[in-house]
Amino acid sequence: MIRNDDIRARLGLRPVINVSGTMTSLGASIVVPQAVETVAAILSQWTEMSDLQRTASRTIARLTGAEAGCVTASCSAGITLAVAAAMTGSDLAAIERLPDATGLKDEVVIQAGHMVSYGAPVEQAIRLAGARVVPVGQATSAHAYQLEGAITEKTAAAVYVVSHHVVEYGQIPLANFIARAHSKGVPVIVDAASEYDLTGFIAAGADIALYSGHKFLGGPTSGIIAGAKGLVRAAHLQNRGIGRGMKIGKEGVAGVIAALEAWETRDHAGIRERERKALDLWVKTLAGRPGVTARIMPDPTDNPLDRLRVDIDPQAARITAWDLADRMAAGEPPVVVRDHEAEHNYFFLDPCNLHPDEEAIVARRLTEELDQAAAAAEPVVSSFAERAMRQEAGLLNWPD
């Protein structure tokens, strides 16, 4: 049921319950009250943006251990601006020329297993700066000697991606990646968009660490660039060039400052306890269901959180994982699960973006859909290939 004060009703939007996680496609996260208050307070005020970014720099530096920081439109924008910074430094003329990289170091090395999509390809964010992507190794096998062999006198930077999307084995460990790149004088940019660890990547030697301000931090849509002062300055200066289209407003910068400060005092243990109660309820709800196995799983990049993996045996459950996911999303209220691996007949339930009592609604919806499948005359088993084509057709049909 939609609350009377739910703005989604006024806008004619579905009252989605998000058990997918901090997904951009669903609005990323619940913005923390401190950021909401700060955004509202600054919207009607003038401010000198360079000074506001200086304030953000000090806050980012304090929380990450970096020398400096700045805020941009998104973590994806941060990749582009950090790469551009490594290419141009503080050369204002070169900044104005990009993406024409004539005369500049313009190669960026990245492991093949890290060339993934977060909604758009990582390598496209690199190419937007005018750089050329140089893959290292193969998708499931990369070694330090391959990284060294890929580095030339034209190499501007090395990008390392920390994400559940990347290949989870056969990759160069971050410490080895940084050591080998630095031995060749190449700066390392770490894409840590959805990571809790705000200090570890800089402490490990990364020259730039990039974060989403609007995921676990609970800020407005934004990207955080933290790192060596010279590179951060050069990234900020890209606002005079390709970064102009990636600029962020006063509300975004101020909101990130507030979200970072709130992070310092957040009751992380209390949040984990509430999430665990939701997970335990879902385990209890699914226990004994024919063809359904529910397991609490740790985050694959070692963030301090768990999700519920729900494996479906279509023959016993009389429904596939993707059909169950689709029916959950199409029902009342809509519940969107984390289904990016549904073709393997499992999906995840992520409790990190639940409002109070929504975990019970999720449990009810699971029960309803599984009961309906069990009672149906025929098993609910659609073609996954046809589902993929329907989703593609839906993209191409927007805005209708």
CB atoms inside a 10 Å sphere around CB 238:
26
- DSSP state at residue 399: T
Same fold, 31-265 and 268-397: no
Cα 141 to Cα 265: distance, rounded to the nearest angstrom:
41
Burial of residue 374, with CB atoms counted within 10 A of its CB: 0-12 exposed, 13-18 middle, 19 or more buried: middle
**CB-based contacts of 399, cutoff 8 Å, min separation 6:** none
CATH assignment, 31-265: 3.40.640.10
CB atoms inside a 10 Å sphere around CB 90:
13
First to last CA, the chain: 26
Cβ atoms of 189 and 160 within 8 Å: the answer is yes
E-strand ranges in the chain read 17-19, 68-72, 107-111, 132-136, 155-161, 188-191, 208-212, 223-227, 292-298, 306-312, 335-337, 346-349
Domain ranges of the chain: 31-265, 268-397
Cα 384 to Cα 367: distance, rounded to the nearest angstrom:
23
Pick the CATH number of 268-397 from 3.40.50.2300, 2.130.10.10, 3.90.1150.110, 3.40.1080.10: 3.90.1150.110
Cβ atoms of 240 and 92 within 8 Å: the answer is yes
Cβ atoms of 39 and 251 within 8 Å: the answer is yes
Cβ atoms of 333 and 4 within 8 Å: the answer is no
CB atoms inside a 10 Å sphere around CB 49:
14
Global confidence as pTM: 0.91
pLDDT tens for the chain, 400 residues long, are 445 578 888 888 888 999 988 888 877 888 999 999 999 999 999 999 999 999 999 999 999 999 999 999 999 999 999 999 999 999 999 999 999 999 999 999 999 999 999 889 999 999 999 999 999 999 999 999 999 999 999 999 999 999 888 888 999 999 999 999 999 999 999 999 888 899 999 999 999 999 999 888 899 999 999 999 999 999 999 999 999 999 999 999 999 999 999 999 988 899 999 999 999 999 999 999 999 999 999 988 888 889 999 999 999 999 999 999 999 999 999 999 999 889 999 999 999 989 999 999 999 999 999 999 999 988 898 888 998 899 888 888 888 7
